[in-house]
Amino acid sequence: MGLPGHVRHAVGAAWQHRAVDVAAARALAEEHLAEALPRRWQHSQAVAATAADYAARLGLDPDVVVVAAWLHDVGYAPPLADTGFHPLDGAALLARSGWPDEVVNLVAHHSCADVEAERRGLGDVMRRYPDMPGAERDVLWASDATTGPDGQRLSVAERVLEVVQRYEPADLVSECMVHIAPQLAMAMQRTSQRIAGGPVSPAVSYDEWANVQLLPHILPVLEAWNPEGIAEYAEDEYEPEAQAFSSLLRVGYTIDVSMVVAVWEHWFGPQSCLTREHDLRKLEKLAEALQGPVRVAGAAQPM
């Protein structure tokens, strides 16, 4: 027996509305990105496709998460630049244009954008948009964190490395990417857990999750090596470097010579004692020593 006519009409209208919303989001992203920033457009298309797949498998409303996926990078469009930080510039456009608050907030906070906003002095602007932890946010973060600049699928660890290499290690974007990598990996893990129907790991902060297991093992390695040969150093002298290595290890990246050099030059510059010596064997041994704590903490498998 079929549905009554008025029910069929209501259901059809709802699906038409949903299709229009997603289509409108795609059209807006295409308008701002396709010609001006074709690589960003390729990336956005792939992120939206991944988000749509996850949303369908999880029964999430595409009017929220898929729309946000299409629009997450629209703030890169040059005419929209206001703060110069694309999550906020994109969210501002969407808020002015009357898009739903859920979409606006997801775009503003996508991929742990609040961390970079604080470092850019835009924390107060970011706080105008409430964060929305949950399945939709995880899907958006996971989709973005596993999609390369040309739309290729990557692991979270590969994506972190790609960003660091593309922006250079000393760039603010690279620095923030290293710090938020554990949060992105956790978003991917929680999405996978929800799809599998099992228990879902709680959302925790960067400090609670990324460093609590590895930092106590990494920091003593750096202090014992004292690569800069500092006669008397503060207790937290090597903590920023230890945090960076902890983040990379936590998302499954294997520490090698190139990453040791990248992290070290970010904090100490190209004339640091460690890298100025060009002692490949020493760098290899330090990389091996930094990788060792993974076997102790058991926390470096990709999500």
Query: What per-residue confidence (pLDDT) applies to 169?
Result: 65
Q: What ranges in 34-122 are assigned the alpha helix state H?
A: 38-58, 65-71, 86-96, 101-108, 113-119
- The total of other beta-carbon atoms located within 10 Å of residue 79's CB is 8
What residue type is assigned to position 106 of the chain? L
pLDDT at 213: 60
Six token digits for residue 288: 């091996």
Number of CB atoms found within 10 A of residue 78's CB: 8
The pLDDT score that the predictor gives to residue 252 is 63
Residue pair 146/159 in contact (Cβ under 8 Å)? The answer is yes
* pTM recorded for the entire structure: 0.70
Tell me how far apart the alpha carbons of residues 69 and 52 are, in angstroms, rounded to a whole number.
9
Any residues with CB less than 8 A from the CB of 115 and at least 6 apart, and which?
Answer: 176, 179, 180, 206
pLDDT of residue 146: 94
Planar angle of CA 71, 134, 43, nearest 5 degrees? 30
- Residues 188, 146 contacting (CB under 8 angstroms): yes
Q: d(Cα 218, Cα 83) in Å, to the nearest integer?
A: 37
Strands (DSSP E) along 91-201, which ranges?
none
| pLDDT by residue, tens only, the chain of 303 residues | 343 343 333 333 333 434 448 999 999 999 999 999 999 999 999 999 999 999 999 999 999 999 999 999 999 999 999 999 999 999 999 999 999 999 999 999 999 999 999 999 999 999 999 999 999 999 999 999 999 999 999 888 788 878 887 887 678 898 888 778 878 888 998 999 999 998 887 665 544 544 446 777 788 888 888 888 887 777 778 888 887 787 777 666 678 887 788 788 777 877 788 877 778 888 888 888 887 755 443 333 322
Q: At what angle do helices 135-145 and 172-196 cross, to 10 degrees?
A: 120
pLDDT of residue 10: 35
Secondary structure class of 6 (helix, strand, coil): helix
Beta bridge partner(s), residue 147: 153
Question: In one letter, which amino acid is 56?
Answer: A
The pLDDT value recorded for residue 16 is 40
Nearest to 62, CA basis, from 107, 30, 25, 9: 25
Residue among 115, 242, 89 at smallest CA distance from 174: 115
- pLDDT the model gives residue 218: 84
